[in-house]
Amino acid sequence: MVQLNKNKKNKRAGGNKKMLLAVSLIWLFAILLNLMLLIYFCIGTTAFNNRPPGTEWGYYFTFIGFPTAFLIAVSILCLVMGWIPRIIPTQIILVIIIGVITFFVIYIAPLPIEKEGWLTEKVRTLSYMQTTEDGKYEYTLELINTFQKDGYARLYVKDVVTDEEKRIPLHTKRKKITIRGFAHGEENAWSHLIVSETSASVYVLTITEWLSIENEQYEINITEGTARRIE
């Protein structure tokens, strides 16, 4: 009888150890997942520190980011100190709580993140195409990731005859380009492209006052797809 009781106790102890190990692994996985989501949240809302956080960032960080960081710190402390419930029903409740918290973080963390300007380029352009004076090309100025530190401008050119398209980056003086107004006609366009007086194959691009890089000029070689800023 005594031997049977010992066997039962040993089985319970063995089962409890397996349960403790399972809870510890689940908890550790949840910590790593939540930590990755928190990093994704912080990086995504600032596009690798290229833009200020959006207006919703403070709200989401207060109710999601900060509590998640606190729970991660407490969880790591509990695992390191071995503060894990020994009673199986309590362990099950703990696993459920961890699962619910992780689910909400997975669902909510991506909400305030604007993927444009970070995972994909955010392109702004005019609602119409301009045409060069010689009628050879249609063109427009494309602004990439405006209002961000990694923003830049490029010239989109389309050959009227062959429909060949080219995008020529412009090396502007300012990295952060802002829009002062949206153009609705040729008289208030963002840029003007005219044939150079020195060569028929070279064009001169002038930026207008509607952008923060106003009055910058570039020599554009459409054939080679290059731009040189005129000092």
- In this prediction, residue 183 carries a pLDDT of 56
> What are the residues whose beta carbons fall under 8 Å from the beta carbon of 201, sequence distance 6 or more?
221, 222, 223
Among 160, 151, 169, residue whose Cα is nearest residue 130:
160
Task: Show pLDDT as tens, one digit a residue, over the chain (231 residues).
Answer: 444 444 444 444 445 677 788 888 888 999 999 999 888 888 888 888 888 877 777 777 777 788 888 888 988 888 888 888 878 788 888 888 888 888 888 888 787 788 888 888 899 998 889 999 899 999 999 999 988 888 899 999 999 999 999 999 998 888 778 888 665 666 678 999 999 988 878 999 999 999 989 999 999 999 999 999 996
Say how far apart CA 89 and CA 166 lie, in whole Å: 66
Which CA distances in Å does 81 have to 75, 78, 101, 157, 160? 10, 5, 22, 64, 72
CA 69 to chain centre: 21
Instruction: Extract the tokens encoding 163.
Output: 């429909």
In the DSSP assignment, the letter for residue 101 is H
Instruction: Extract the tokens encoding 128.
Output: 């119409």
Say how far apart CA 116 and CA 22 lie, in whole Å: 40
Q: Model-level pTM greater than 0.95?
A: no
- In this prediction, residue 13 carries a pLDDT of 47
